[in-house]
Structure 1
Amino acid sequence: MNKILILATLTLMLSTQVSFADANEAKYKSTPALGSIFDGPYLFDQSSNQQTRQAYWICANALLTTALDKGQLHRPSGCGQLPEPTLNPKAKNIAANTFTHVSKIVALSDVHGQFDVLITLLKNQKIIDEYNNWAYGTGHMVMTGDMFDRGHQVNEVLWFMYKLDKQASDAGGKLHLLMGNHEQMVMRGDLRYVNERYHTAERLLERSYDELYDKTSEIGQWLRSKHTIVKINDSLFLHGGISGEWVDRKLTLDKANQIYRANIDKSKAEIKSDDLLNFLFLGEGPTWFRGYFEDDYQESEIDRILAYFDVKHIVVGHTSQTRVLGLFHNKVLAVDSSIKNGKSGELLLITPNGDQDTLTRGLYDGSRVTL
């Protein structure tokens, strides 16, 4: 009797374990908690003939493909409102990293996949029109990094910015898309903050998330052409901040931006083994530094950095605030307004006005307040 009871118990335990395993596998395959997944497009270099390229789409958890049509992507029918981008043959061109005589500048940061909040903010502030097209004329727009991770509409944000990049240039303006620490993390395979939505694309395309944006992908090539730091008029723009160590190392924008592009795909171990790369990509480097927001940070250190770059302002994201904030008599301008929370956000407007720039907070409802 005891043997029969033991055998029955073991059978029940084994059956339960198999059921749990099946349930977990089914959950991974169908992602029922997220419902039907719509994602894409993903476009990769597959042959020397660009017109034979295939775009990949996730439509209701199914993988579909469409052919590239003279540089235009068309989503499959019944595939929701996924982006239908027109490819930009100049998307991978490397721009200058210093600009002067720019008539107006708008800056924001840390969107983290919150496409709807981004669109509402830009539309209410008249940076884009009602059809989500560039409406800022010859002005320059700076996104100081961190489009990736956390939120569920990263791909929508990326393709929107890809479109805006061309439209701004065509209008005589400029989009500056700067690399943040989360862009760097994704490209070197640090995927701790990737939204669950993208597991479906990984599985169906048989690529890890970082490989969806690798050197063979349209978006990946575009991102790898971008700077990490730019200087516009008398303002310096970057993700985290410039520490005094940068000045001590006598680094230049040209050299640093070239190093970032050349080493963006290296592993963390490779980066840490090189002293300069370890500084630039990690620790107190420009995409991670948060020193300006520490209580004991000295304004004299800011003055030293401003003098080194010959600028009046340093514009940064990375460290979350509830609003666009000016520190040290507006020498540091913080533009991470917590868009990543998916509720609202702000942007910074800079208008040259003689020796004194006009600094304005652009609020979520479309109103503006002098900083």
Structure 2
Amino acid sequence: METQKTPKQVIVMGDVHGQFDPFVKLLRHAGLVDDQLNWSGGHNRLVQMGDIFDRGPASRKVDDLLDRIQKQAAQTQGEVIRLVGNHELEPLLSNFVISGFSKEEAKLIHDKLTRQVLNGELKAAYAYKGILFTHAGVTRKLYKIFQMQLDDPNAANIAAMINLIFRESIKHEFYKHPIFNISISRKGADRFGGIFWEDLEDLASSYPKSPLVQVVGHTQVSRIILDKTANIIPVDVGMHRKLQYLIVDEEGAPHIIDVPEDK
């Protein structure tokens, strides 16, 4: 199980999709970067839910900014947790069809992302205060697999197992574990997808109720909602149209933060 420093706050931001300016507004509002876009978050922790690439105009700028503040945060006892979304996974798998990059640039991105996964700079899952964070969520099918493999299938243990599976899969270029499944709603072969390719509606319908509180991105929603009936908190609100993020306090309680447009 991974050791973790105790943060002052955990700030969670959803899919960026190349929206550099809105992302910077969120980071500044949360006090995580200064006017020069250097880390100013102290020992707070940022969790970015993946999908920084494609669609928007400045994917590489977003990537460069996250690279920089991740290194800076580590020097001030802060932390930047970067999760892999399906738009990072596809270049990792050398599938450049959904990417907006040229083949040459996509190859460079593939090599860079691979190094970052193996170095632990990119993760597939994260846990804090009993909350499990993955890009698209752990379905009931996946949870039952982990339940059989773990003495205690809590959020921290599941996250640690997912990250081990993910690193080893990338290292050996072997992607047969169900975490990589693509749901039929996304033109895959499986009724329910894995942690990168599962739509929110299918994730919720796979359970009567998730046994763990889950925070997910991937499926765009109109706003963040704290829905205790499903135990699933979606945070991809589309940064091109809405500025919102989530804070999880020291007690593990989530709080929705709205950012005024003029900020």
> 2:91 matched to 1:186?
yes
Provide the residue aligned with 2:232 in structure 1: 332
The 3 A distance-change label for structure 1 pair 123 and 264 is: same
**Which amino acid in structure 2 is aligned with residue 320 of structure 1?**
Q
Q: Deviations over 1:200-222 (max 9, x none)?
A: xx5xxxx2x3311233x4x6522
Q: How much does 1:262 deviate?
A: 2.6
**Which amino acid in structure 2 is aligned with residue 222 of structure 1?**
Q
Provide the residue aligned with 1:360 in structure 2: 255
| 1:110–1:317 CA contact under 8 A, matched in 2 | yes
How far apart are the structure 1 equivalents of 2:94 and 2:243?
29
| 1:100–1:232 CA contact under 8 A, matched in 2 | no
Q: How much does 1:315 deviate?
A: 0.9
Q: How much does 1:170 deviate?
A: 1.2
> 2:223 matched to 1:323?
yes
Q: How much does 1:242 deviate?
A: 0.9
Provide the residue aligned with 1:78 in structure 2: none
Q: How much does 1:191 deviate?
A: 2.2
Q: Deviations over 1:152-184 (max 9, x none)?
A: 211111110011111111111111101111111
| 1:97–1:229 CA contact under 8 A, matched in 2 | no
Q: How much does 1:330 deviate?
A: 7.6
1:282 alignment partner, one of 181, 184, 197: 181
Provide the residue aligned with 1:255 in structure 2: 161
Provide the residue aligned with 1:345 in structure 2: 243
Provide the residue aligned with 2:39 in structure 1: 134
> 2:149 matched to 1:244?
no
Provide the residue aligned with 1:164 in structure 2: 69
| 1:323–1:337 CA contact under 8 A, matched in 2 | yes
Deviates more, 1:247-256 or 1:106-115: 247-256
Q: Deviations over 1:135-161 (max 9, x none)?
A: 221111101111122222111111100
> 2:218 matched to 1:301?
no
How far apart are the structure 2 equivalents of 1:150 and 1:265?
28
How far apart are the structure 1 equivalents of 2:199 and 2:165?
22
Larger Rg, first or second structure (1 or 2): 1
Q: How much does 1:227 deviate?
A: 1.5
Unaligned runs of 5+ in 1: 1-95, 307-312
The 3 A distance-change label for structure 1 pair 319 and 168 is: same
**Which amino acid in structure 2 is aligned with residue 332 of structure 1?**
I
Deviates more, 1:224-233 or 1:313-322: 224-233
The 3 A distance-change label for structure 1 pair 265 and 366 is: farther
**Which amino acid in structure 2 is aligned with residue 261 of structure 1?**
R
**Which amino acid in structure 1 is aligned with residue 137 of structure 2?**
G
**Aligned residue runs from structure 1 range 42-53, under 5 A:** none
The 3 A distance-change label for structure 1 pair 324 and 97 is: farther
Q: How much does 1:265 deviate?
A: 7.4
1:120 alignment partner, one of 25, 30, 53: 25
| 1:240–1:287 CA contact under 8 A, matched in 2 | yes
How far apart are the structure 1 equivalents of 2:6 and 2:65?
27
Q: Deviations over 1:109-141 (max 9, x none)?
A: 210111111111211232222221222211111
> 2:128 matched to 1:229?
no
TM-score by length of 1: 0.58
Deviates more, 1:183-192 or 1:142-151: 183-192
RMSD value over aligned CA atoms?
Answer: 2.7
State, as a whole percentage, how many aligned pairs show the same letter: 22
- Displacement over 4 Å in runs of 4+: none
Q: Deviations over 1:89-117 (max 9, x none)?
A: xxxxxxx7463743311001210111111
**Which amino acid in structure 1 is aligned with residue 135 of structure 2?**
H
More contact order relative to length (CA 8 Å, sep ≥ 6): 2
**Which amino acid in structure 1 is aligned with residue 205 of structure 2?**
Y
| 2:9–2:44 CA contact under 8 A, matched in 1 | yes
The 3 A distance-change label for structure 1 pair 359 and 247 is: closer
How far apart are the structure 1 equivalents of 2:51 and 2:247?
19
**Which amino acid in structure 2 is aligned with residue 242 of structure 1?**
V
Q: Deviations over 1:227-283 (max 9, x none)?
A: 20111222211100111112321254333212212323777xx63xx3xx2x11123
How far apart are the structure 2 equivalents of 1:114 and 1:164?
17
Q: How much does 1:321 deviate?
A: 0.9
SS of alignment partner, residue 325 of structure 1 = coil
SS of alignment partner, residue 326 of structure 1 = coil
| 2:243–2:261 CA contact under 8 A, matched in 1 | no
Provide the residue aligned with 1:143 in structure 2: 48
